[in-house]
Amino acid sequence: MNLKGAKIIVTGGSSGIGKQTAKDLIDKGAEVIITGRDEQKLLKVALELGCTGFHADVSNEEAAKGTVDFALEKWGAIDVLINNAGYAEFGLIHELEIEKLKAVYATNVFGAAAMAKYCAQVFIKQQSGNIINIASTAASKGYPQGSIYATSKFALSGMTQCWRAELRKYNVRVIQINPSEVPTAFAQADRTEREEEKNKLSPKEISDAIITSLEMDSRGMITDMTVIATNPF
Ligand SMILES: NC(=O)c1ccc[n+]([C@@H]2O[C@H](COP(=O)([O-])OP(=O)(O)OC[C@H]3O[C@@H](n4cnc5c(N)ncnc54)[C@H](OP(=O)(O)O)[C@@H]3O)[C@@H](O)[C@H]2O)c1
């Protein structure tokens, strides 16, 4: 697809991978709405990037619906949903805090599903659309302390396959991107952004993967893309 003029929602676009992706899409001529929970940060980043900030917590279904309604009212169409909003909690199974499990699922799983539900309704009518789910290398590999985060990404991966099977007949592509570690505000208790590290991934490589998968002609679909650092050691 041609990204010039494309109408794109990036959830969690106020920092890290989402912010870089929004920036690169805007540079390609796309029209972008970013969302986030911290309204001040969101509006500051939207101003900096030259896009629209819509304050919405994806874990709230009404807010997810409100985001899609807002985009449709503004643009009359939506071409791409990037389900990027997400965060992590870690802990051992014998110390599991069920409330943390529910809260992470509310964003990473239920939030992504709510955004996909309302965008899919638009995409089916349009007979076109794209959903990019930002999962993780943790979406296919369990590890100690991964009961909350890794399993939320396993669930997102399962939903990706279901949505793809349902929506491809409407010309809708559903694509999963799996980043390995990217130093960002992710998993930082105080939400401060980490500095880039020379040999580790940066948000740019993830944005490049997203843009590559979108720019391919819409008759073809890259189903999954995993991005790892070449030599992080
Ligand atoms: N960084 C990594 O190593 C890594 C690796 C694999 C996958 N990922 C995935 O990549 C995605 C982006 O992560 P990142 O590294 O860019 O993290 P980040 O810098 O912490 O950015 C996360 C973004 O999501 C937003 N967000 C979180 N919960 C939200 C909610 N309920 N509703 C709306 N917005 C919400 C945050 O806004 P607020 O600050 O306002 O909440 C922020 O804009 C996540 O899904 C993450 O799981 C990251």
Domains contained in the chain, number: 1
For residues 20 and 207, is the Cβ–Cβ distance under 8 A?
A: yes
This prediction has a pTM of 0.98
Q: Which residue has the higher pLDDT, 198 or 173?
A: 173
What is the structure's pLDDT at 68? Answer: 98
Asked whether residue 193 carries a pLDDT value surpassing 90, the answer given is no
- How many whole angstroms from 118 Cα to the centroid of ligand 1? 21
What is the structure's pLDDT at 97? Answer: 97
- In ligand 1, the atom with minimum distance to the C-alpha of 13 is 43
Q: Could you read off the pLDDT of 11-61 as tens digits, one per residue?
A: 999 999 999 999 999 999 999 999 999 999 999 999 999 999 999 999 999
b/e string for 219-229 if b means 16 or more Cβ within 10 A?
eebeebbebeb
Decide if 233 is inside a domain. no
Ligand 1: does its nearest atom lie under 6 Å from the Cβ of 20? no
Q: Could you read off the pLDDT of 132-147 as tens digits, one per residue?
A: 999 999 999 999 999 9
Ligand 1: does its nearest atom lie under 6 Å from the Cβ of 16? yes
Residues of the domain holding 123:
7-227
Decide if 232 is inside a domain. no
CATH at residue 51? 3.40.50.720
Decide if 205 is inside a domain. yes
